[in-house]
Every structure is written in C-alpha cells, then in structure tokens.
Amino acid sequence: MFRRMKSGWKLTKKSWGVFREDPGLVKFAIASGLLSLLAVAVVIGPGLYLIDQDSQVAGGILVAVGFYLAAYISIYFAIGLAHSADRRMAGEPVSFREGMAVAGSRASNAAGWAFVSVVVMTIIRAIQERFGIFGAIFGGLAAAAWGVLTFLAIPVIAIEGTGPIETIKRCAHLVKSRWGEQITGVVTIGAAVALFGFLPAVLLIAGGIALWATSGAGGAALIGLGLVVLVIAGLIQQVLSTIFGVALYRYVAEEKAVGGFTTEDLEGAVRSKGGTGGSGRGPVVSNSTI
C-alpha cells in the first residue's frame, strides 16, 4: 500500500510539473464542466421533475439524453486536452484553439465513444442494483475491467482518431501487449489534490453547515468557499489525470517516456502479483485513487 501511495504521489507531482508549464490546459476542463452543468440543468433537471410527476417515460428519456450529452461533452473536451497535453510534453507550442480544432475533427469519434460508455456503464449499474450481492460483486469486477480496458481510450482517440470499436480493440491490444492477461486495474493519481484541495473543501463545507444554525451568512460563506475549492480541485484533478493518461499511452504504445516522466516512474504505475513493479507478464495495476 505504501509503495502504491508513494508511486501515485510521484506521478501526481510529475503531472503537476507539466500543468505548471502550461496552466492554460485547465481551460478545457473549465469549459467541459460548465457545459456539462448546463446539460444537467437544462435536460436532466426537467427529466427528474417529470419522473417525480409520474411521467416516467418522458422523464426517463430526458434523463438518458442528458447523461449522454454530459458524457459527450466531457469526452469532447478531454480529447482537446489530451492533444494539447501530448504536444506540451513533446515540447511543442499548444493553444486552446488548436486543441478544440482537434476535438472538432474527432466529434463523431467522441459521439460514438460517449454512446458506448453510457450503455456499458448503464448495464453495469443495472446488474449491481438488481442482483443483490452477486450483482454487486460481478458489477464491481466488470467496472474494474472496463476501467482497465478504457483508461487509454481518450489518448487513443485524440492521437489516433479511432472510432468506438477500433478504440476498444486498440486499448485491448495495448494493455495485452504491455501487461499480459492478468492486469486488474489502472492507477489513478491525485494524492496532492486530495490533500490540498478536496480535504479542505470538505472541511469548509462541514464547518459552514455547523455554523449555519448560529450565523446563516457566515455558514453560507464557508459553504460557498468550500464549493469553489471543490470545483477547482476537481478541475485540476481532471487535467492531471489526462496528462498522466497521455504519458502512459506514449509509454505503452511507443516505449517512450515524455513530459518529465521517466521509465521508472511509469513502471512504478504497475506492480506484479508479488508486489514489485515491472513490465513482465502478469502485472497488476491498482485502480484506486492514490
């Protein structure tokens, strides 16, 4: 566990180094977040209202469309971010406009991938909810396997321009060729963000709720500040995860360490069943956030 935490912390710092060189990368996450919130407010919100008013069919359709739109928006801007992060780690100039141009050229790819992602996750959630403990176990394993298979999906779409079926095949090939058959998860990063972002945000919100009874204005101010910190931390987390994903893609696809990452850093993202890092057959990668 300590080894995984240490590795995750190091990868977070390396990703932060890339982000610090070009803070403008956060523009993609900001735009994605704002438009996703708009989709929730305009489509999902009314859908939930209709469901509450016993209009199950109409409400269900709106909610489904809203979730698809939110997924599409997230993937669309993630493609632009991945392209820009890739160019930044290659030492090339980047711009928000160029990243969005690449995302635009991959719009149909993003649409197809959003559809596949929503359908798969909907099926997994249905299994988890309807089949008791066995459904929870099987659904958890399925979700983990899907997460492994698709961790490199956004970099693959952004850099190679693949469609949804080709993306799945390409990701499966990359994972299998590098790590064999026994991989169980993919490291996510964010220890520093959790420590300096999410934790203070939670404390501020909790403090605001506690203060609300005696000082409504003070409590509201703390809650508002906590929400702002939470949003900023979430945006930074998204950027750092994408940077790491692109670096891992380059390493797996080309055996090339980029963006200040070293071979040892990226090898440290995996561990064998015996608990040691390496690129031999049968490594295991943690899918917990560390």
- Is 289 a member of any domain? yes
Instruction: List, for residues 152-198, the tens digit of each pLDDT value.
Output: 899 999 999 999 999 999 998 888 877 665 554 455 666 667 777 78
- Is 157 a member of any domain? no
Instruction: Pinpoint the alpha helices (H) of the chain.
Output: 2-21, 26-39, 45-52, 56-89, 96-105, 107-130, 132-150, 153-160, 164-179, 191-193, 199-212, 216-254, 263-267
pTM for the whole thing? 0.82
Question: Residue 235 is part of which domain span?
Answer: 187-277+284-290
- Is 236 a member of any domain? yes
Query: Can you give the pLDDT of all 290 residues of the chain as single tens digits?
Result: 556 666 677 788 888 888 988 889 999 999 998 998 888 889 988 999 899 888 889 999 999 999 999 999 999 999 999 999 999 999 898 899 999 999 999 999 999 999 999 999 999 989 988 888 888 888 888 888 788 778 889 999 999 999 999 999 999 888 887 766 555 445 566 666 777 778 888 888 888 888 877 777 788 888 888 888 888 888 888 888 899 889 989 988 888 889 888 888 777 665 444 444 444 443 333 333 33
How far apart are alpha carbons 115 and 107 in whole angstroms?
12
Instruction: List, for residues 8-21, the tens digit of each pLDDT value.
Output: 777 888 888 889 88
What lies within 8 Å, CB to CB, of 74 at 6+ separation is 32, 36, 114
How many structural domains comprise the chain? 1
- Is 288 a member of any domain? yes
- Is 206 a member of any domain? yes
The per-residue pLDDT for 188 is 60
- Is 178 a member of any domain? no
- Is 226 a member of any domain? yes
| 195-204: long-range contacts, CB 8 A cutoff, minimum separation 24 | 196/233, 197/229, 197/230, 197/232, 197/233, 197/234, 197/236, 197/237, 198/230, 198/233, 200/226, 200/229, 201/226, 201/227, 201/229, 201/230, 201/233, 202/226, 202/230, 204/229
